[in-house]
Amino acid sequence: MTDTLLSARGVRKAYGSFVALNNVDFDLARGERHALIGPNGAGKSTFIACVAGQLPGVEGSIAFKGQEVARLMPADLAKRGIGRTFQISRAFLHMTVLENMTAAFVIAAGRWASLSRALLSDAGARAADMIDTVGLTHRLAARVADLSLGDRKRLEFGMALAADPDLLLLDEPTAGMSIKERHHLMELVAARVDATGKTLLFVEHDIDVVLKIAQRVTVMVRGAVLAAGSPEEIAANDEVQAVYLGGHH
């Protein structure tokens, strides 16, 4: 029997009079790598933001580890084990890779208020390990502003892992990257997710990456779920093919 980590029922989100999500049902099994795909404007980012607690006015139910979380704040959700990547803010672009990763570990420890030398040194050591994990040791002292897009995405991924989330949400983690970089990053993500027993929900436009990385795929169209299944089932689904070949993408 599969162990359900997240279960959404009847999720609805409107921006003013525009309904971006309409009655979405969605299940995520613990330990699975799950891709959310669909044409532009389908509501994928909106759904990820709903799960991460970043949007007001979300209707319906989202159960995480059996508890209702639909109307909790991001910080609460992070404590319960839901994590997502964030773009590194402007102020941090002139800090180094190591400084940014150290900050991520200090934030994850929730200890800004009582920052001590011991805490900083512990966070620094963990940061160096994580930088190694994401393959950036050779860029440890580089300013984030000087990183390539691919390296910056690796750093953002590592920073999201600093909080040690059970569920990792990645919204278009490979946007703007070359095909080769995309595959490299997502292979790294998949390997880390598997090695640490995490669950992954990611939005991805590159269907080759999706078919390689995802164990399960949900297809959204115009705010609703069109289909969900294994990558093979989704690739063979006539309705899904019609959406993708019909020029909406």
Ligand X SMILES: Nc1ncnc2c1ncn2[C@@H]1O[C@H](COP(=O)(O)OP(=O)(O)OP(=O)(O)O)[C@@H](O)[C@H]1O
Residues that bind ligand X (CB under 6 A): 15, 18, 20, 38, 40-46
Least CB distance from residue 19 to ligand X, whole Å?
9
Q: Max Cα separation, the chain?
A: 60
CA torsion angle 206 203 216 229 (round to 10): -90
Least CB distance from residue 22 to ligand X, whole Å?
11
Residue (47 or 157) nearer to ligand X, CB: 47
Residue (17 or 67) nearer to ligand X, CB: 17
Least CB distance from residue 42 to ligand X, whole Å?
4
Residue (33 or 44) nearer to ligand X, CB: 44
Residue (40 or 67) nearer to ligand X, CB: 40
Distance separating alpha carbons of residues 163 and 135, to the nearest angstrom: 18
Least CB distance from residue 122 to ligand X, whole Å?
37
**Which among 150, 186, 181, 183 is positioned nearest to 170, based on CA atoms?**
186
Residue (43 or 53) nearer to ligand X, CB: 43
Residue (30 or 222) nearer to ligand X, CB: 222
Distance separating alpha carbons of residues 235 and 224, to the nearest angstrom: 18
Residue (72 or 220) nearer to ligand X, CB: 220
**Which among 68, 57, 55, 54 is positioned nearest to 6, based on CA atoms?**
68
Q: Are 40 and 224 in contact (CB under 8 A)?
A: no
The one-letter amino acid at 50: C
Least CB distance from residue 233 to ligand X, whole Å?
21
Collapsed DSSP state (helix, strand, coil) of residue 87: coil
Q: Residue 244: enclosing H or E segment and its boundaries? A: helix 238-245
Distance separating alpha carbons of residues 224 and 153, to the nearest angstrom: 29
- DSSP conformational letter for 147: S
Q: What strand order describes the sheet that includes 33-37? A: 82-84, 167-171, 199-203, 33-37, 216-221, 224-229
Least CB distance from residue 23 to ligand X, whole Å?
15
